[in-house]
């Protein structure tokens, strides 16, 4: 690895083998005035229309969710990134991510919003022909029509291409007749248009169809009873020789699986943004309660045990957010480059997104697990009231849980992270071999004690991140060599590697964000952010060491194992950080501001 | 009909105020500034309603402040203001503010000037009245309802213990409060249009201040609350006598 080489246009997955310069990452502290105004509109909309109605929303009061979607549509929030020629506002991916993040604090509403503006709208926008786009997209962007997406079936969840739904052409060649059963369909209860996946005849791959709710043969089951996101409409949708005009075939025959996968890449990244927004909201609720609730004569926010939780919630959230917007910017840049090279804009968007599918999977996992941690500790900070259905943590806790399941379970996303990385290496798109061999060579040489290196504000963390890359290259290289074709089936090892990659990507994103922030605002004005970075990277080193050790102890033996374990120790070594004091500093800021404030 | 809406930038209500320079200045570091709610929710939205119903033709905005006030001006433009003027000077003296606005308003000639009943930073609540005096036109404060009927306005206003309905001729300055209109949220179309709507910066009139702020003082920290059980009346009397010293 050339450690001094920095690239602006980093390719997807390249974070493992390249350095990125802080000046080239986008950080949320750089939102412009217009973006901040859009964010404020989202906040105000939630505060005035959604949050006071959460109980009514969860009771699925007739027409309420649909009405809220209409209101969001009237504000323009459903068409943020839809091009202006289709009734949207043509904003960039980061801005639509900002809206997703802000509305992510809206519990079930955020699910309805995300499903509509993501999987409900994007398949038609990205894969529809001109007539289909003209017919459906403006109505979806305005909210006049609501969208849903029918992929999952009772027997095909993660293995989406194994669906049983079938379509056959009528004798006159004018219609497809779809028969099948779709499950867990978000927004089904009030959707006007569904993107439905089914195989035509005995095709190997899925095709996709645009189905309107009034098409003959489409029926809805009753609402599912769910653990959380109770206000989100979730139903089974039945297709019984459902009559779909041939012109409603989306894209080409058998292109459905590709559509499903590509739309999921965007969905995963967006889920990251949405859960970051939800985490911030939970932290604000938690600190407000901690500042009010007194025990033993003092607000519980004065106690170290509670401060630890508040700080840890903020550390993980800030770290996730750093990764979300770094990757969003990278996707945008990749798209711009593809457009500049002559590719049509829609195709460029899809390709640019696909390029960062590894990062999207990482972000989905990290942000959803962060929200689960944040909500769980939110309940704990509320104590007895945390367990009461009268207080907000009950809903936050239940609503959080689905995020580790939908848009690809976190297990599937972890496996994809490693699988995509290795496939790209095999295709020659990513040179992992060269850097891995270099690390193997370094293992045999005398360790670099780094005595001569110049100290700067970020030199330690930069060194740690560079070493994390070496640790992963060493363990992953060893796993490929030892397990070879078998590696794909060794899921525990894949999970270990995915966790290591995730900690690396998030650590690096966080380090780059704080470095850029310090350059913008000065070191004295980002003390807590520096603490967040130090604690996170300190913990990440331990997690990477643990995952690496588990993997090595499984596939390596004898001297080789000893040598790699020593290497792992070397590459995950960090100098002592006073994490207790750092967490106290972070918590003190949140407590004094009485809200999430980074 | 041209309407002028006076808007100002104020610290967000959740701001924790701190002082600096020997308590002579308010520390603005880390403070989030917003559009004054009385100006935004009531004065501006009512003006927009008059335009939507065809009564008004143009809504102009004016603020007194430096360039850092432009984000809130653009928010008001996003809500629907047609154009804005920023009088380029910092002012926390209500008289000066009124003079600056009056001098500008005279150059255009407005049929109706709306403002909030007060700004939530200094809460003087006097700019509107002084502005009317300087322009030599009528003024109604604490309005809760504003209707326009040809060349007159019918205004309901809060008075001690009740409500008063006034009939006045235009032009007039009306200071608005809750009841006049319902708050709106800027939509995407407005937000994107705000960038293209004119925001002119003009120099303030030359005038000497008539007041000066010598120093600020934060309110004393609230003492804790002592709970007394209903059955312990003697304890309550003792506390009121010995501690609170009110009986």
At A291 the pLDDT is 97
Q: Where are the beta strands (DSSP E) in A102-233?
A: 147-150, 166-169, 175-186, 193-200, 207-212, 218-223
pLDDT of residue A420: 95
User: Hey, are the CB atoms on B185 and A38 less than 8 Å from each other?
Assistant: no
Question: Which residue has better confidence, A454 or A83?
Answer: A83
CATH topology of domain B2-221: Rossmann fold (3.40.50)
Q: What is the pLDDT of residue A9?
A: 61
Determine the residue of chain A that is closest to B182 in CA distance: A48
pLDDT at A281 over 80: yes
pLDDT of residue A447: 67
End-to-end CA distance of chain A: 33
Q: Which two tokens stand for residue A363?
A: 């972000």
Q: How far is A76 from chain B (nearest CA, A)?
A: 5
Which residues of B are less than 8 Å from A35 in CB distance?
none
pLDDT at A10: 80
Burial call B162-190: b when 16+ CB within 10 Å, e when fewer = eeeeeeeeebbbbbbbbbbbeebbbbbeb
| Residue B218: CA count within 13 A, CB half-sphere | 13
Q: Which letter does DSSP use for residue A564 in this model? A: H
pLDDT at A278: 98
Across A277-302, average pLDDT: 96
| pLDDT, averaged across chain B | 94
Question: Backbone phi, then psi, for A175, in 5-degree steps?
Answer: -135, 155
Mean pLDDT score of chain A: 94
Question: pLDDT by residue (tens digit) across B38-59?
Answer: 999 999 999 999 999 999 999 9
| Cα B106 from Cα B95, distance rounded (Å) | 16
pLDDT, position A2: 42
How high is the pLDDT of residue B30?
79
A37 vs B16, B75, B183: nearest CB: B75
Contact A37 B194 (CB under 8 A): yes
pLDDT greater than 80 at residue A452: no
In tens, the pLDDT along B196-231 reads 999 999 999 988 888 888 999 988 887 778 888 889
Identify the CATH assignment for A413-593 out of 1.20.140.10, 2.60.40.290, 1.10.10.10, 1.20.1250.20.
Answer: 1.20.140.10
Cβ pairs bridging A and B (under 8 Å) = 46
**pLDDT tens digits, A159-178:** 888 889 999 999 999 999 99
A-chain CB neighbours of B74 within 8 Å are: 33, 37
The predicted pLDDT at position A444 comes to 81
Q: Residue A33: list chain B partners with CB under 8 A.
A: 70-71, 74
- The domain limits of chain A are 28-146, 413-593
Q: Which residues pair with A220 in a beta bridge?
A: A237
Give the per-residue pLDDT at B17.
85
Reported as a pLDDT band with limits 50, 70 and 90, residue A3 is very low
Give B-chain residues touching A79 at CB under 8 angstroms: 188
List pLDDT tens digits, range A464-520: 999 999 999 999 999 999 998 899 899 999 999 999 999 999 999 999 999 999 999
Q: Are A574 and A511 in contact (CB under 8 A)?
A: no
HEC letters along A127-156: HCCHHHHHHHHHHHHHCCCCEEEECCECCE
Which of the given ranges, A1-5, A343-347, A371-375, has the highest pLDDT on average?
A371-375
> Is A37 close to B14, i.e. CB distance below 8 A?
no
CB A151 within 8 A of CB A182: yes
- Other beta carbons within 10 angstroms of residue A524's beta carbon come to 7
**What pLDDT is stored for residue A453 in this prediction?**
63
Interface list for B 144-173 with A (CB within 8 A): none
Best A33, A35, A596 member to test B by mutation, with max B CBs in 10 Å, is: A33
Q: How far is B136 from chain A (nearest CA, A)?
A: 38
DSSP code, position A575? -
pLDDT of residue A450: 56
Percent of chain B's residues with pLDDT above 70: 100
CB contact under 8 A, B74 and A37: yes
**How confident is the model at residue A6, as a pLDDT?**
42
With CA atoms as reference, report the closest residue to A267 among A411, A43, A93, A419: A93
Give mean pLDDT, residues B169-193: 96
Over range B182-195, report the average pLDDT. Answer: 96
Residue extents of the structural domains in chain B: 2-221
Interface test with A, best of B16, B71, B191 (most A CBs within 10 A): B191
Give the mean model confidence (pLDDT) for residues A531-544. 98
Question: What percent of chain A lies above the pLDDT cut of 90?
Answer: 90
pLDDT tens digits, A128-150 = 999 999 999 999 999 999 999 99
Classify domain A28-146 at the CATH topology level: Butyryl-Coa Dehydrogenase, subunit A; domain 1 (1.10.540)
Residue A456 confidence class, pLDDT cut points 50, 70, 90: confident
On chain A, the residues whose CB falls within 8 A of the CB of B189 are 76, 89
Would you call B188 and A40 a contact, using CB atoms and an 8 Å cutoff? no
Q: Determine contact: B191 vs chain A, CB below 8 A.
A: yes
By CB atoms closer than 10 A (0-12, 13-18, 19+), residue A212 is middle
**Which residues of chain A does B183 touch, with a Cβ-Cβ cutoff of 8 Å?**
48
pTM of the model: 0.93
| Whether residue B117 has pLDDT greater than 70 | yes
Which of A157-161, A398-402, A427-431, A541-545 comes out lowest in average pLDDT?
A: A157-161
Q: B241 and chain A: CB distance < 8 Å anywhere?
A: no
């Amino acid at each position: 690895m050339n450690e001094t080489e920095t690239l602006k246009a980093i390719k997807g997955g390249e974070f493992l083998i390249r350095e990125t310069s802080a000046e080239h990452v986008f950080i949320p502290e750089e939102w412009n005035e217009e973006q901040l105004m859009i964010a404020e509109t989202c906040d105000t909309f939630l505060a005035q229309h959604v949050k006071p109605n959460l109980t009514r929303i969860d009771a699925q009061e007739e027409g309420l969710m649909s009405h809220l979607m209409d209101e969001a549509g009237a504000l323009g929030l459903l068409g943020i990134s839809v091009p202006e020629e289709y009734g949207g506002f043509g904003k960039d991916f980061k801005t639509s991510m900002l809206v997703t993040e802000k509305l992510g604090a809206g519990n079930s509403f955020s699910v309805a919003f995300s499903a509509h503006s993501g999987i409900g709208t994007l398949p038609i926008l990205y894969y529809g022909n001109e007539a289909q786009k003209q017919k459906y997209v403006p109505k979806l962007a305005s909210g006049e029509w609501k969208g849903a997406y029918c992929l999952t079936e009772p027997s095909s969840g993660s293995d989406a291409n194994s669906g049983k739904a079938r379509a056959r052409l009528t004798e006159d060649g004018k219609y497809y007749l779809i028969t099948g059963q779709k499950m867990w369909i978000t927004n089904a209860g009030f959707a006007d248009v569904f993107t439905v996946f089914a195989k035509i005849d005995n095709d190997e791959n899925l095709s996709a169809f645009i189905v309107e709710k009034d098409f003959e043969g489409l029926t809805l089951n009753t609402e599912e009873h769910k653990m959380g996101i109770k206000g989100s409409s979730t139903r089974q949708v039945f297709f019984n020789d459902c009559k779909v005009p041939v012109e409603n075939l989306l894209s080409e025959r058998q292109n459905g699986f590709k559509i499903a996968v590509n739309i999921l890449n965007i969905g995963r990244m967006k889920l990251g943004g949405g859960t970051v927004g939800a985490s911030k909201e939970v932290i604000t609720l938690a600190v407000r309660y901690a500042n009010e609730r007194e025990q033993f004569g003092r607000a519980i926010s004065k106690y170290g045990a509670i401060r630890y939780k508040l700080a840890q919630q903020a550390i993980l959230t800030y770290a996730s957010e750093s990764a979300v917007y770094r990757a969003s910017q990278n996707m945008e840049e990749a798209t711009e480059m593809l457009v500049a090279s002559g590719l049509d804009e829609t195709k460029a968007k899809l390709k640019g997104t696909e390029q960062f599918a590894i990062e999207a999977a990482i972000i989905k996992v990290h942000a959803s697990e962060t929200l689960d941690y944040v909500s769980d500790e939110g309940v704990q900070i509320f104590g007895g009231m945390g367990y009461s259905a009268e207080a907000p943590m009950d809903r936050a806790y239940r609503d959080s849980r689905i995020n580790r399941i939908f848009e690809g379970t976190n297990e599937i996303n972890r496996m994809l992270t490693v699988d995509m990385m290795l496939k790209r290496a095999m295709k020659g798109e990513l040179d992992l071999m060269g850097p891995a061999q270099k690390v193997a060579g370094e293992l045999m040489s005398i360790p670099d004690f780094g005595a001569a290196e110049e100290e700067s504000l970020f030199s330690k963390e930069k060194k740690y991140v560079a070493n994390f890359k070496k640790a992963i290259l060493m363990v992953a290289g060893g796993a490929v060599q030892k397990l070879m074709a078998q590696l794909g089936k060794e899921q525990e090892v894949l999970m270990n590697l995915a966790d290591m990659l995730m900690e690396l990507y998030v650590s690096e994103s966080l380090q780059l964000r704080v470095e850029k922030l310090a350059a913008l605002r000065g070191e004295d004005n980002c003390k807590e952010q520096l603490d967040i970075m130090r604690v996170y990277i300190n913990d990440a080193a331990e997690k990477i060491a643990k995952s690496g050790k588990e993997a090595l102890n499984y596939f390596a033996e004898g001297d080789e194992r000893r040598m790699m374990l020593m290497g792992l120790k070397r590459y995950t070594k960090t100098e002592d950080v006073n994490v207790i004091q750092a967490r106290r500093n972070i918590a003190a800021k949140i407590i004094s501001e009485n809200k999430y404030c980074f | 009909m041209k309407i002028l809406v006076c808007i100002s930038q104020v610290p967000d209500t959740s701001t924790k105020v701190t002082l600096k320079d020997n308590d002579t200045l308010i520390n603005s570091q880390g403070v989030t500034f917003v559009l004054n709610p009385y100006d935004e929710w009531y004065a501006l939205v009512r003006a927009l309603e008059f335009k939507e119903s065809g009564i008004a033709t143009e809504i102009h905005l004016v603020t007194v402040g430096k360039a850092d006030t432009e984000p809130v001006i653009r928010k008001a433009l996003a809500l629907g203001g047609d154009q804005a003027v920023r009088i380029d000077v910092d002012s926390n003296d209500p008289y000066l503010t009124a003079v600056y606005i009056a001098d500008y308003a005279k150059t255009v000639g407005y049929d109706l000037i709306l403002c909030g009943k007060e700004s939530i930073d200094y809460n003087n609540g006097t700019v509107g009245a002084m502005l009317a005096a300087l322009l030599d036109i009528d003024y109604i404060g604490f309005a809760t309802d504003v209707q326009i009927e040809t060349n007159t306005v019918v205004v309901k206003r809060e008075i001690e213990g009740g409500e008063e309905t006034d009939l006045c001729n235009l032009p007039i300055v009306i200071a608005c409060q809750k009841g006049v209109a319902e708050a709106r949220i800027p939509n995407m179309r407005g937000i994107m249009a705000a960038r293209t709507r004119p925001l002119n910066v003009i120099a303030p009139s030359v005038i000497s201040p008539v007041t000066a702020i010598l120093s600020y003082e934060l309110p004393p920290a609230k003492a804790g609350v002592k709970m007394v059980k209903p059955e312990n009346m003697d304890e309550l009397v003792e506390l009121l006598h010995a501690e609170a010293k009110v009986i």
